[in-house]
Structure 1
Amino acid sequence: MIEIENITKSFGDKDVLKGISGVFEQGKTNMIIGASGTGKSVLLKCIVGLLRPDEGTVNFNGREFARGNKDLQREIRREIGMLFQGGALFDSKTVEENVMFPLDMLTNESRSDKLERVHFCLERVGLEHAAKRMPSEISGGMQKRVGIARSIVMKPKYLFVDEPNSGLDPLTAITIDNLIHEITTEYNITTIIVSHDMNSVMEIGEYIMFLHKGYKVWEGSNQQITKADVEELNNFVFSNKLLRDLRQHL
């Protein structure tokens, strides 16, 4: 579980986050949504430690991360997996080498043990056959799956995902959503996803935090979001015509 309380962040005279609080539960796909410029990516960076909030606390299972000592921060970082928007694969490394990279950097395991873990993760995302290929030789959706394999190779307790479906076709996006949800549930991970993709929100959003102009203005589940009586949220959710038509029949 990750609990944030009163997270505030400014850049110069621009207030980006204004007292954000919430609880992201273990074993659930938690989502932070909102229009561009609402602060969702800044909030994710504050949670993961890439930015330090001006005020507030970030607790990983009761451990205060943002202002913890270096040993504690190092301990928590080893428990974190990251899936970046563009995949962030190394072009000069094979799929196998990309997934092995965190093990090479952060562990002293034998090569045989590393390979066993890498191939387990590749099999879990359905890419064991692509281990020796280069990133340029596989599709965008496959690259995202390689990124997922790399993000779980260290057996993380916490998984942070930034716009996982960016640039993907709808069917591939559904595959990625389902895979993230399955892995979250199977390994009981605390997963936080930043997204503006309403299809993802409706499919796997077990807890959703909606930000608007730096404030948290709504939180709830994908079962509740279409019935919420919040103007800013409805404008965001029902900007899609299909969803507007759906709401008329609810």
Structure 2
Amino acid sequence: MIEIKNVGKSFQGKEVLMDISTTFEKGKTNMIIGASGTGKSVLLKTIVGLFSPDKGAVLYDGRDFHKSTVKEQKIIRGEIGMLFQGSALFDSLTVAENVRFPLNIHSDLSESEKDDKVNFYLKRVGLENAAHKMPSEISGGMQKRVGIARAIVMNSQYLFCDEPNSGLDPQTAWMIDQLIHEITQEYNLTTVVVSHDMNSVMEIGEYIMFMYQGLKIWEGTKDEILDAEPKELQDFLFSNKLVRTFKGI
């Protein structure tokens, strides 16, 4: 579980996050949605420690990340997996070497133990036959699956996904959504997905937080979102063709 308590963040006197509080529960696909420039990415970077909040706290299962010692922060970071918007694979490394990279940096496992873990997680994402390929030799969807395997290879407790469907066709995007959802439940992860893709929201959004101009405007489930009252959220929703289809408009 991750608890966000009254987090605020400003840059050059401009408030970007204003008194954000929420809880991301373990075993659920938690989503942060909103238009571009609403503070989604800043909140994500604050949660994972790339930014320090000006006020408030970020708690990982009760551990206050920003008030922890460097050693304690390192332990928490070792429990975090990240799936980046562009997959962020190393072009000069094979698929297997990309997944192995965190193990080389952060673990004391033997070489054979690392091999076993890499093979296990590549099989879990359906890429056991692509281990020796280079990133340039596989599709965008396969690259995202490599990114997921790399994000969880350290037995991560927390999985963060930044626009995981960016640049993917609808069928591949659906497959990535389902994989994220399955892995979240299978490994009981606390998963946080930043997205503006309403297809993803309606498919896997178990908890959804809507942000507008640095504020948390609404929170709820995918079953509640279509009838949510805030005008800002309705404007965001009805600009989306999928939502208009759901509503029969």
Q: Secondary structure of the equivalent of 2:67?
A: coil
**Partner of residue 139, structure 2:** 139
In structure 1, C-alpha distance between the alignment counterparts of 2:184 and 2:238, rounded to whole Å: 28
Q: CA deviation at 1:241?
A: 3.1
In structure 2, C-alpha distance between the alignment counterparts of 1:151 and 1:17, rounded to whole Å: 27
Q: CA deviation at 1:13?
A: 1.9
Does the CA contact (< 8 Å) of 2:78 and 2:156 recur in 1? Answer: yes
In structure 2, C-alpha distance between the alignment counterparts of 1:24 and 1:100, rounded to whole Å: 28
**Partner of residue 109, structure 2:** 109
TM-score where L is the length of structure 2:
0.98
In structure 2, C-alpha distance between the alignment counterparts of 1:163 and 1:105, rounded to whole Å: 26
Question: Number of matched residues?
Answer: 249
In structure 1, C-alpha distance between the alignment counterparts of 2:117 and 2:174, rounded to whole Å: 26
Q: Deviations 1:39-70 (Å, cap 9, x if unpaired)? A: 00000000000100000000000110022111
In structure 1, C-alpha distance between the alignment counterparts of 2:117 and 2:17, rounded to whole Å: 39
Q: CA deviation at 1:248?
A: 4.5
**Partner of residue 188, structure 1:** 188
Q: Secondary structure of the equivalent of 1:184?
A: helix
Q: Deviations 1:120-163 (Å, cap 9, x if unpaired)? A: 00000000000000000000000000000000100100011100
Does the CA contact (< 8 Å) of 2:198 and 2:242 recur in 1? Answer: no
Q: CA deviation at 1:245?
A: 4.0
Q: Deviations 1:172-213 (Å, cap 9, x if unpaired)? A: 000000000000000000000100000000100000010000
Q: Secondary structure of the equivalent of 1:23?
A: strand
Q: Secondary structure of the equivalent of 2:6?
A: strand
List runs of 5+ in structure 2 lacking aligned partners: none
In structure 1, C-alpha distance between the alignment counterparts of 2:79 and 2:241, rounded to whole Å: 41
Q: CA deviation at 1:35?
A: 0.3
**Partner of residue 70, structure 2:** 70
**Partner of residue 41, structure 1:** 41
**Partner of residue 79, structure 2:** 79
Q: Secondary structure of the equivalent of 2:66?
A: coil
In structure 1, C-alpha distance between the alignment counterparts of 2:191 and 2:177, rounded to whole Å: 12
Report percent identity of matched pairs.
Answer: 65
Does the CA contact (< 8 Å) of 2:47 and 2:58 recur in 1? Answer: yes
RMSD of aligned residue pairs (Cα, Å): 0.9
Q: Secondary structure of the equivalent of 1:172?
A: helix
Q: Secondary structure of the equivalent of 1:88?
A: coil
TM-score where L is the length of structure 1:
0.98
What is the identity, as a one-letter code, of the residue corresponding to 1:55? K
In structure 2, C-alpha distance between the alignment counterparts of 1:205 and 1:15, rounded to whole Å: 28
Q: Superposed, which structure 2 residues align to 1:1-250 within 5 Å?
A: 1-248=1-248
